[in-house]
Structure 1
Amino acid sequence: MNEKRIASQSRNNKIKWWLRNILCPLLFTIISFKLRLQDIDANKSVVWDEAHFGKFGSYYIKHEFYHDVHPPLGKMLIGLSEWLANFDGNFEFESGSTYPSEVNYKVMRQFNAIFGSLCVPVTYYTTLWMNFKFLTTLLITIMITLEHSYIVLSKFILLDSMLLFFTLTTFACLCKLNSLRDQQMTKKWSLWLLLTGINIGCVCSVKWVGLFITVIVGLYTIIDLYRHWCNNQLGRLTYYKHWLLRIIYLITIPFLIYLFCFKIHFQLLYKSGTGDSSTNTLFQVNLEGTKIKQGPRNLLFGSHFTMRSHGLSPNLLHSHPQLYPDGSHQRQITGYAHFDNNNVWEFQFIRGQKFDLGKLYLISDGAEVRLIHNNTRSNLHSHKVPSHVSRGNWEVSGYGNDADGDDHDNWVIEIVDQLPSANPNYPKEDDNLVHQFSTFFRLRHKSLGCYLTSTGLSYPAWGFSQAEIVCKNSWSKRDKSTWWNIEEHWNENLSIDEDYLPPKSKFWTDFILINFAMASSNNALVPDPDKFDSIASDAWEWPVLHRGLRLCAWLKDTHRYYLLGSPFNTWISTLSIFVFFGIMIRIAYKWRRQTLLLTENDFWSLLIQAILPFCAWLSHYLPFAIMGRVTYVHHYVPALYFAILIFGFVVDYTFGSSRSYIKYPVYLTLMGGCIYIYILFAPICQGLQGLGAKYLKLQWLRTWDIVI
């Protein structure tokens, strides 16, 4: 009898295991794919940010270099989807334009929907590894499966589903690691540590928002290492091995993945394109079809040229007729990345210097020069007037003209590096002369001793948000912010050497500069006080669903999509954050009064189920609440996931261990409420059709603009 009972129990356990680990997640995955693929091609127009990311993907098809504020992995995956759809790259993805018949946008959208759909099984296993009650796992998974904002963002060619997927997989790996914390140094634990690092690398390579979940992994790692530090039975050598493994798997590998994405990015985009100006001269001149024309190798007094900074903001030296609003009130000197006639300068002798009119004088190391702006004919000038944005530097301005000026117009050439030609047969050039492309030099102000510098900062609107140029006291020749090179050069008295090939750019330099350019572009995404952005929203509006976002043209004869979180999921998860504080205060109070015993396992359960999800919500929400850049509803998407996990903890803690007659009605009510609200609001993510009057029942708040 005992053997039969044991066999029966074993069968029941196997059935329960298959139900929980295979059948349930499979069912949820099927439902997830069904909802996200449903009528995915119904709207035949370029929807919302498909205008950006579809176009970025097409650049990989055409191999044209572009610049964007986000790392390249997500956009390379979009490019892969376009390649799989046999797209030739010639459609421009203009906002609102209709997809032509030859563009298989359905395959592109389906590819993106895969990431959104897989968020559901990832959520399911995450909650299992968090050791929630099974009913809590089902509740959270249903909420993620039926979340309107997740569904609608999965239907289009966007980065949000990819970002959410890799954010979820990173947190899932962390939860799995926590479940294996007593098996550290085993092959299984090492594998999941490796997977955590790979997912960190992927999420950070889609958007920098991935750094927020990386912070959570770092927080957990610090706590875990502190646990080992307090373990007196653990040898120091083993402890240092723990450090080494985490450094390799959680820092080195993610960075190498991030680096590798840019390596592929540069390899694929080998033609000149719209993003050339965000890079340095050597990168641009080596692009196929580059806009930079090769000029004479040596520069003379009287040569016209443009010159580009080697600083973290690799802009061309620029000036224009506008004046500084304060300081000297002289002409502005700025850095400007794009081709413009106001970037052209001319080398001239300093005043009082004797020269032979019939002789050609080469620009060499140590030469004293004046730089004259070609259009305004003002001199590049500096004086003891404080710079306008940075502190501790002197203003650089455009002053006087050919006849009018003073000693503060004089600069000294200091050559700091010379690069050989990429043509191995090209003869070695004179290292004391300034050459186009290959000579890196500094300009020292003769009177002040400071150096012409691009600070990497930008002027306000009065300076057209262009780069700040100053005169800076620099004590090191290796200060790249003071380095410059000649980009274009014109001189009718010299011939062009066709055998010369410019040096190849260095990958590490390109990598650093493109990342700084991304940061600068991100910082430039600030609200324009002179314009009203009807689709922008503030962070305080997201947790309360104060407003949504129309994703496309609001015409009655088209499928219309409205980006709005599920009212059930969003409001109840926001409320749960306040309840969470009450629970944590109660636990802390009872523990302090010694009426609650917290074992080590209790601590780790509380950490992974409550504390880390709250920290993750905070890290994904708070930065958008305090940053100055323009923000939109979709920025709350990752934070909403962790808010739902917090809600799961609140329900699990409050009702998970209750009696059946309390627990089951509560869970069934919550699941039913989630399903009902999804069905009621399903049109906002599956497509509103026809007259808006029939959707008046969805207009719960006056600030929602669902109805036409």
Structure 2
Amino acid sequence: MSASTGIESHSIENKLRKRASNEDAVITNNIDIGKHSNETYVKTKMYMGKRFDLRGITSIASPALFTILSFYLRFKNIDKNNHVVWDEAHFGKFGSYYITHEFYHDVHPPLGKMLVALSEYLAGFDGHFSFDSNTKYPSEMNFKFMRQFNATFGALCVPLTFFTAKNLGFSWQTTYLVTLMVTLEHSYITLSKFILLDSILLFFTLTTFACLVKIYTLRKKQLTRKWSLWMLLTGISVGCVCSVKWVGLFITIVVGIYTLMDLFSLHHDENLSRVKYYKHWLIRIIDLIIIPFLIYMFCFKIHFALLYKSGTGDASTNTLFQINLENTKIEIGPRNVAFGSEVTIRSHGLSPNLLHSHVQLYPDGSKQRQVTGYAHSDANNNWEFHFADHNYSPNDTIIRDVMDGMDIRLVHKNTRNNLHSHKIPSHVSRGNFEVSGYGNDDDFVDSNDIWTIELVDQLDSSNPNYPKEDPTILHPVSTFFRLRHKKLGCYLASTGLTYPQWGFQQAEIVCKNSWSKRDKATWWNVEDHWNSRLTVAEEYLPPKSKFWTDFVLINFAMASSNSALIPDQDKFDPLASEPWEWPTLHKGLRMCSWSRDSYRYYLMGSPFNTWISTLSLFGFVLLMLRIIFKWGRQTINLTEDQIWKLLITGVFPFFSWIMHFLPFVMMGRVTYVHHYVPALYFAILVFGFVIEQLFVSAHPIIKYPAFIILATGCIWVYIIFAPICQGLHGPLTQYLRLQWLPSWDIII
């Protein structure tokens, strides 16, 4: 080979390398730590020749201006509609229960509703407004302050977005654009204007992710005081978001995945001692598991302490909790249950319901009378204790107590059927036997009607002067027992599942083969007790309920209530929507009366924010495939820091979107537009990542016009659709311009 040929070959090779390097710059430049354009700053001459750092000014002024704008948009016209709007009927009412101290039950944990109650308390509300839907607020009720209190959480999401984007390493252009999108997001503004949980949930979701991102920025400073503080704040945020709604578990999973990846990375750090590595585990277990759980429990502790009077939610709790409430509906009856006594019997299982029966029959199986669990007071909850071999007669002169080991029959007061079981499979759960109502007082006693009573626990009276009760006799409230089927050997149990519509979605009751005496599904206690032949012990005080038992049961009751929120196929719900309709903006939601004279609010995301963020999700996938392809071909080399940068700026926001969207696709419960609120935020962050990759390293002639066009589009779309979040008023014909899609019902 000639010398000239070798020089030419070397020159070509250098050109190819330079060309490949320029191509990869688009991918790697925005992943490198400390090489973003927002890390350059401008200095200008000031008075007296001093130089002043504009970057320091803008880092404070910019989020402040965004926050002021956010408060203005969310507070604007906040009291124009002076009626109870949409779910204010629920959450305003729940807040009022804390003011009146009446116990209630809801599908959500208590923190958000206690914050609503705090706003009501600060507003001087006495708790006696009913919050009936579309009812006008009384003139003396400061509902404006209550709404402003809620709007504050929505407004504070804006500075959280700014600092999160900044800590992600986004350029100043992307940071401003993403913050602008959250500031002008119509659905966020609309939900902030009313007494709802969504803004509170979004706020704590954002604080959790913001803390996670901050922890990422301190990866090189782990175990320092600053890192430990942010780890603690992350745990507090996790505890708060899960205490508002269980949806908070989705961002908790994101934090958990990041934590495990970080620990896996530390595991392969040869410079880290085993002692320090285990210390990392210990700190994370305390801060991210124990502390959030303690916060969650503490919220329920306050919840129980505030709601000490009998109320609408009594039926969701166990007997001991109910009977210790002020004005309880449970009466103290005679202390010894005897044959002939009329009782109600409550389960200790996952559904603490009362044993119930009615005239309806099972549609298959034995086709005998249904036996279910029902939480509320009803005459069909009443049963009588009868002898196993013959009917009880009120003329019997001898009163016989129901005692441990006795064979008994339970006769339903209204249908006169015996509690019965047989070798017919249960209707919902598997591996259990059906329990039914069968026979009557006049028929020959069937051997499948006989049960053996087994006493398993006896609690003493909370009155220390009351004498100890005989532990072999069945007592109401304080004695826990099991009912073993005499013939089959199985135990009467509540499975925690519910019957279909034919069983009125009441709790399933079965005969279960239980191998443990501590199986709470098979535990029962007598709640109400009536027997005119016995005297009432006035000095008896029931035992106090245990917090842990109350805590566990109320959470299972919440889970059961959530499971019951399924669409009714026989009814059309105009407000409900399918998850695919949220990122496509196929449908919105009318939040209030659509009368001409009222201020009307339409819950729908900004078309700009929603559609462009949805498109960016697909763009993100394509970008990641390109990066993975180039990495696999070894045309780019990513360091560990660059990989982590890629994960935190793109992968984790995308994963967070999936975690906040996919569960609603998979679950069978009824869904609404507001369920997309947290997911939309993460879609906006994904959009920030995509434009960061596409434009930040581009030539200024392309980059700056692109950001100006995007920001202008965001502002223009907000202005066009501002009436849906600031209030539609007057004739709908003036809003014809808003009907972009035929599926929207803004004016039709």
TM-score, normalised with respect to structure 2: 0.93
Structure 1 unaligned runs (5+)?
Answer: none
| Distance of 1:222 and 1:14 partners within structure 2 | 40
Q: Does 1:433 align with 2:473?
A: yes
Residue from 361, 369, 375 that aligns with 2:400: 361
How big is the shift at 1:354? Answer: 11
Change (3 A) 1:622 1:286: same
Q: Does 1:36 align with 2:77?
A: no
How big is the shift at 1:37? Answer: 0.2
How big is the shift at 1:19? Answer: 1.1
Change (3 A) 1:354 1:190: closer
Residue from 662, 669, 694 that aligns with 2:734: 694
| Distance of 1:421 and 1:279 partners within structure 2 | 20
Runs of 4+, deviation exceeding 4 Å: 5-13, 352-356
* Residues 522-565 of structure 1: CA deviation (Å, up to 9, x unaligned): 00000000000001000000000001000000011111000000
**Which residue number corresponds to residue 123 of structure 2?**
85
- Map residues 534-573 of structure 1 onto 2, 5 A cutoff: 534-573=574-613
Counterpart of 1:368, as a letter, is D
**Which residue number corresponds to residue 552 of structure 2?**
512
Residue from 196, 202, 205 that aligns with 1:158: 196
- Map residues 196-595 of structure 1 onto 2, 5 A cutoff: 196-351=234-389, 357-404=396-443, 405-595=445-635
How big is the shift at 1:358? Answer: 1.7
Counterpart of 2:523, as a letter, is W
Find the residue that maps to 1:417 and give its secondary structure.
strand
- Map residues 64-83 of structure 1 onto 2, 5 A cutoff: 64-83=102-121
Residue from 719, 731, 741 that aligns with 1:679: 719
How big is the shift at 1:658? Answer: 1.1
How big is the shift at 1:12? Answer: 5.9
| Distance of 1:276 and 1:683 partners within structure 2 | 42
**Which residue number corresponds to residue 678 of structure 2?**
638
Higher radius of gyration, 1 or 2: 2
Identity of aligned residues (%): 67
**Which residue number corresponds to residue 654 of structure 2?**
614
**Which residue number corresponds to residue 88 of structure 2?**
50
How big is the shift at 1:67? Answer: 0.1
Q: Does 1:668 align with 2:715?
A: no
| Distance of 1:17 and 1:617 partners within structure 2 | 33
**Which residue number corresponds to residue 25 of structure 2?**
none
Counterpart of 2:253, as a letter, is V
| Distance of 1:7 and 1:150 partners within structure 2 | 38
| Distance of 2:463 and 2:364 partners within structure 1 | 49
| Distance of 2:392 and 2:238 partners within structure 1 | 63
Counterpart of 2:137, as a letter, is Y
How big is the shift at 1:8? Answer: 7.0
2:43/2:54 contact within 8 Å kept: no
Change (3 A) 1:588 1:12: farther
| Distance of 2:577 and 2:595 partners within structure 1 | 23
Residue from 126, 138, 146 that aligns with 2:176: 138
* Residues 460-513 of structure 1: CA deviation (Å, up to 9, x unaligned): 000000000000011111000100000000001001010000000000000000
How big is the shift at 1:601? Answer: 1.7
* Residues 252-310 of structure 1: CA deviation (Å, up to 9, x unaligned): 00000000000000000000000000000000000000011111000110000001000
- Map residues 589-604 of structure 1 onto 2, 5 A cutoff: 589-604=629-644
| Distance of 1:50 and 1:366 partners within structure 2 | 53
Structure 2 unaligned runs (5+)?
Answer: 1-41
| Distance of 2:397 and 2:292 partners within structure 1 | 61
Change (3 A) 1:652 1:395: same
| Distance of 1:393 and 1:688 partners within structure 2 | 57
| Distance of 1:312 and 1:236 partners within structure 2 | 42
Change (3 A) 1:7 1:578: closer
2:151/2:199 contact within 8 Å kept: yes
* Residues 67-118 of structure 1: CA deviation (Å, up to 9, x unaligned): 0000000000000000000000110000000001121100100000000000
Counterpart of 2:381, as a letter, is N
Find the residue that maps to 1:555 and give its secondary structure.
coil
How big is the shift at 1:691? Answer: 0.3
* Residues 661-692 of structure 1: CA deviation (Å, up to 9, x unaligned): 11100000000000000000000000001000
* Residues 231-257 of structure 1: CA deviation (Å, up to 9, x unaligned): 111111110000000000000000000
Counterpart of 1:14, as a letter, is D
| Distance of 1:154 and 1:237 partners within structure 2 | 47
| Distance of 2:52 and 2:207 partners within structure 1 | 28
Change (3 A) 1:58 1:6: closer
Change (3 A) 1:11 1:441: farther
Counterpart of 2:83, as a letter, is S
Counterpart of 2:175, as a letter, is T
Counterpart of 1:382, as a letter, is S
Residue from 116, 124, 148 that aligns with 2:162: 124
Counterpart of 2:741, as a letter, is L
Change (3 A) 1:44 1:374: same
| Distance of 2:243 and 2:77 partners within structure 1 | 30
Counterpart of 1:153, as a letter, is L
* Residues 339-397 of structure 1: CA deviation (Å, up to 9, x unaligned): 00000000000125999932111001011100000000000000000000000011000
2:44/2:52 contact within 8 Å kept: no
Question: Over aligned residues, Cα RMSD in angstroms?
Answer: 1.5
Change (3 A) 1:12 1:432: farther
| Distance of 2:643 and 2:392 partners within structure 1 | 82
Find the residue that maps to 1:65 and give its secondary structure.
coil
**Which residue number corresponds to residue 22 of structure 2?**
none
| Distance of 1:176 and 1:23 partners within structure 2 | 21
* Residues 594-626 of structure 1: CA deviation (Å, up to 9, x unaligned): 111111221111011100000000000000011
Find the residue that maps to 2:437 and give its secondary structure.
strand
Residue from 99, 103, 107 that aligns with 2:137: 99
| Distance of 1:633 and 1:78 partners within structure 2 | 22
Find the residue that maps to 2:227 and give its secondary structure.
helix
Change (3 A) 1:109 1:475: same
**Which residue number corresponds to residue 7 of structure 2?**
none
Find the residue that maps to 1:351 and give its secondary structure.
coil
Find the residue that maps to 2:704 and give its secondary structure.
helix
* Residues 113-155 of structure 1: CA deviation (Å, up to 9, x unaligned): 0000000000000000100111000000000000000000000
| Distance of 1:475 and 1:638 partners within structure 2 | 45
Find the residue that maps to 1:82 and give its secondary structure.
helix
Counterpart of 1:280, as a letter, is N
The number of residue pairs the alignment matches comes to: 703
| Distance of 1:548 and 1:213 partners within structure 2 | 25
Change (3 A) 1:6 1:64: closer
| Distance of 1:96 and 1:7 partners within structure 2 | 57
